[in-house]
Amino acid sequence: MAADPYAGKAARSFSTVLRLMKQFPEYIFLQTQPQLYDYIKQDYPEIYAEIAERVKEGRWEAGGAMWLEADCNLTSGESLVRQILYGTKFFREEFGAECKYLWLPDVFGYSWALPQILSKSGIDTFMTTKISWSQYNRMPHDTFRWRGIDGTEVLAHFITTPEGPESSAWYYTYNGLIEPFSVQGIWDQYRDKNLNRELLLSYGYGDGGGGVNREMLEMRRRLDEIPGVPNVKTGRADEYFERLQRTIESTDEYVHTWDGELYLEFHRGTYTSQAYNKRMNRKLELLYRESEWLQAMLAAEKGISPVIRLSSCMKVGKSFCAISSMILFLAHPSARYMRIPEQSMRKRFGLARKLPLWPRRV
């Protein structure tokens, strides 16, 4: 039995995926976030071994870049760098997978600094759906170049899958259904048909786990043969984004550029509640930065070994070392007001006390 409830939820979802892959050989599954893989590796090694086999076959895609799909507003730039550094390192070392895209469908806005961070991390494509949730202004394009503060550009693409036919929602979803309404809807809502004629539909039950079911996979087979709606093929996200990059590079059409942050006009309360939690998060980010700097100076000038190891790959049993535990606090912004603050703070103070700068800075 998993000690962490998220590990148990992941194990149930992944077991379902592996079972469906035996029944539907064409089924391809994408799972981001190495944190979940790490839970499974520790608590369910037999499931992890089967996942590794499916990754080798190309039917299970391990990608997305970040260790966790992180908040991009309150999080410091260095923390975002570490999310990508440790995430891509895990995929490379565990599965031999190189990730070139950031899969970040559901956090509440995206910093103007992100294109520069992505580019310097070897990531050339960014995907989200969340900006479509804005309350007043809709983004004018779904495929465009996103320019950062320093002028760096990455290709940005929005998945345009609509909510179900009974919904009055105006926004896109990454928890899509496989039915004529969504397959036609993703095409109808897409704003850049002059640039690109191939779209990516992310389907299954997310936001809590479960994923794809048998009915969805059966419906996918049938929709691919129905005249009058777009063809529906299974495929990998990395291959799709590679094709999209080539399409945009070769087009004669004008490709629009967004120069600025991707601001979400929604969920604003997540950044104004639990202020003490957020204050301590920033203090810990500063502590880690100064601790690393001092350790590097000591190693370079005095030959002194580090007092502590600040690598996410350094674990003792199930206890992550300091920097990895810190990364866990930077997840989906809703966690910043939904998590019990006392429990979160106890963990943060415990981390801070491991750092040599604790008495002076906190």
Q: What amino acid positions are annotated as catalytic residues?
A: 106
d(CA 102, CA 110): 12
3-state secondary structure of 242: helix
C-alpha to C-alpha distance for 89 and 272, rounded to whole angstroms? 33
DSSP string, 37-66: HHHHHHH-HHHHHHHHHHHHHTSEEE--SS
Query: What's the number of CA atoms in the CB half-sphere (13 Å) around residue 106?
Result: 15
Q: How far, in Å, CA of 63 to CA of 101, rounded?
A: 8
Report the alpha-carbon distance of residue 302 to residue 188 in Å, rounded: 64
Other CB atoms within 10 A of residue 360 CB:
8
136-140: long-range contacts (C-beta < 8 A, 24 or more apart)? Answer: 136/265, 137/265, 138/170, 139/258, 139/262, 140/191, 140/256
Q: What residues does 262 pair with on adjacent strands?
A: 110
Sign of CA dihedral 63, 69, 70, 72: positive
Work out whether the CA dihedral 21, 24, 30, 33 comes out positive or negative.
Answer: negative
Q: In angstroms, rounded to a whole number, what is the distance separating the alpha carbons of residues 33 and 302? A: 38
Q: Name the maximum alpha-carbon separation found in the chain.
A: 73
